[in-house]
Structure 1
Amino acid sequence: MNFLQLARAVKRESGLSGGPPASVTTASGDDARVFEWVNWAWRDIALAHESWLFRRGEALGQATGITLPPDAALPGFALTDWASWKQQNPEYRPSAWRVADGQASERGLQFLPYDQFRSRFLVGAHSPGPLRCWSIAPGGELLVGPTPDSVHQVRASYVRDVVDMTLDADEPPLPARFHNLIAWRALREYGGFDAASEVYQRAEQNYSMGFSALAQSQLPRPGFGARPLA
């Protein structure tokens, strides 16, 4: 369901007076609040875990130096939906290869905690060479070392940012079978706002069951290395 369809479902289930919302751009009063509740609900669900599978992204960028900003094109990954890099864990390593050598030379990189990486590659001088190590800077940038001796391709996993729904046709990027979970979460907001206890209880029951199913579907087995946010 898109943003408009979700808002219409919430208003229908709430029992609020008036017809279905026509558009988010013309909504006022109760209809405007319904759209706001829907967007809040989407954000609450998406931010519950960094490790939702629907928030996982793969990035491919070019390195000409040690620091790879997520949003820059070169050096970097030209990402528009980046929130954070996937954290180090025993089953995950970014990989890299010299462009001149081709992808057949792609190899995983060794993780170094930031202070070790800093001592080895950011303090003093070192000889350029093929990429061997990676780390994450305190500011969130992906770091690779040593300084590449030529242009390298780097492949890394990241956590997608949560983007607000603002247009009627916007669709939340979680699996479609779980879209109604957003409506139930939004109905909790309505129930609390309007002291509608029966609506709140029904919404809470359906939301709790739906959230458990979403967790079973979209929380990966241990290894993604992300931290729960709520």
Structure 2
Amino acid sequence: MATFLQLCQSVARDSGTVSGVQPTSVTGQTGRLAKIVLFTATAWTDIQNSRSAWAWMRAEFEGGAAGGVGEYTAAAWSLDDWAEWVVSPGSITLYDPAVGVADEGEIDIIGWDAYRRRYGRGAQTIGRPIACAVKPNGALLLGPIPRAAYTVRGEYRTAPQLLTTNTDTPNLPKRFHDIIKWRALLLLAEFDEAPTAMATAATNYRRMLGDLERDQLPTITVVGGALA
């Protein structure tokens, strides 16, 4: 498992342009070492943003819906690392907390336009929600508006993790931590306009990216077999 500082030191070492074990900290650096720290942090953000379905960036939530309230933001459910809801068939469930999880069932996922037509116009009757939609501002909408308290459960995608302190550790599986180094070395080589270093870093980055995709992206099933 590599910390942010250790990753920066690996980038500096493997770049062949820095002597000794440097940097000694990710803060207060100037010149070449500041570039290495910046490119290492940027590399991690780039990797997280490169795909929308990384498994390690999915998290579960459980939030309370109140009677008479049909719209919920991530902040309302204290999801500080939220980026977007995972909305796919069966991904959102709901139950009456007075009954417990024996009452839990899936609710339909519908589009914003369908929600507006069905639940956003005219007089509405409150009841047990049977559907949900994502509003353009990112809020999760329940329809019909709950008549009482319910518990909502599902998944969301987390926002990219930022590396800022020496001990920050990337939250992807540790066996893939070196992909950050290779991406950072690629950024550094591009900055240096060093074609040989660029080619080496690109080859290793693509190899590790392929391994990461096979391990951390959903398997696509098609007629006749499965595709990774």
RMSD: 1.4
1:174 is aligned to 172
Shift of 1:33: 0.7
Identity across the alignment (%): 34
2:144 is aligned to 146
Aligned length: 217
Shift of 1:194: 1.5
Q: Distance in 2 between matches of 1:160 and 1:193?
A: 30
* Structure 2 gap ranges (5+): 222-228
2:61 is aligned to 59
1:109 is aligned to 107
Match of 2:177, SS?
A: helix
Q: Distance in 1 between matches of 2:28 and 2:17?
A: 17
- Aligned match for 1:211, one of 209, 212, 217: 209
Q: Distance in 2 between matches of 1:78 and 1:110?
A: 24
Work out whether 1:193 is the aligned partner of 2:191: yes
**1:117-132 equivalent positions in 2, closer than 5 A:** 117-132=115-130
Q: Is the 8 A contact 1:131 1:144 kept in 2?
A: yes
Q: For 1:70, give the aligned amino acid.
A: A
Q: Distance in 2 between matches of 1:204 and 1:99?
A: 52
Q: Is the 8 A contact 1:97 1:131 kept in 2?
A: no
Q: Is the 8 A contact 1:191 1:200 kept in 2?
A: yes
Q: Is the 8 A contact 2:87 2:109 kept in 1?
A: no
1:43 is aligned to 45
Q: For 1:69, give the aligned amino acid.
A: T
Q: Is the 8 A contact 1:84 1:160 kept in 2?
A: yes
1:78 is aligned to 78
Greater CA drift, 100-109 or 4-13? 100-109
- After superposition, the Cα gap between the structure-2 partners of 1:33 and 1:199, relative to the gap in structure 1 and judged at 3 Å, is same
Summarize deviations over 1:129-173 as a string: whole Å, max 9, x none.
Answer: 112111111111111111111111001211110021100111111
Q: Distance in 1 between matches of 2:216 and 2:110?
A: 29
2:87 is aligned to 87
Match of 1:99, SS?
A: coil
* Structure 1 gap ranges (5+): 224-230
Summarize deviations over 1:64-85 as a string: whole Å, max 9, x none.
Answer: 111011112xxxx210111111
Shift of 1:222: 3.6
Displacement over 4 Å in runs of 4+: none
Q: Distance in 1 between matches of 2:31 and 2:177?
A: 24
Q: Is the 8 A contact 1:10 1:186 kept in 2?
A: yes
- Aligned match for 1:25, one of 24, 27, 44: 27
Match of 2:175, SS?
A: helix
Match of 1:168, SS?
A: coil
Greater CA drift, 15-24 or 34-43? 15-24
Summarize deviations over 1:36-72 as a string: whole Å, max 9, x none.
Answer: 0001110111101110001111111011111011112
Shift of 1:122: 1.9
TM-score with structure 1 length normalisation?
A: 0.90
Q: Distance in 2 between matches of 1:12 and 1:192?
A: 17
Summarize deviations over 1:95-114 as a string: whole Å, max 9, x none.
Answer: 00112121110010012221
Q: For 1:120, give the aligned amino acid.
A: R
2:226 is aligned to none
Q: Distance in 2 between matches of 1:175 and 1:22?
A: 25
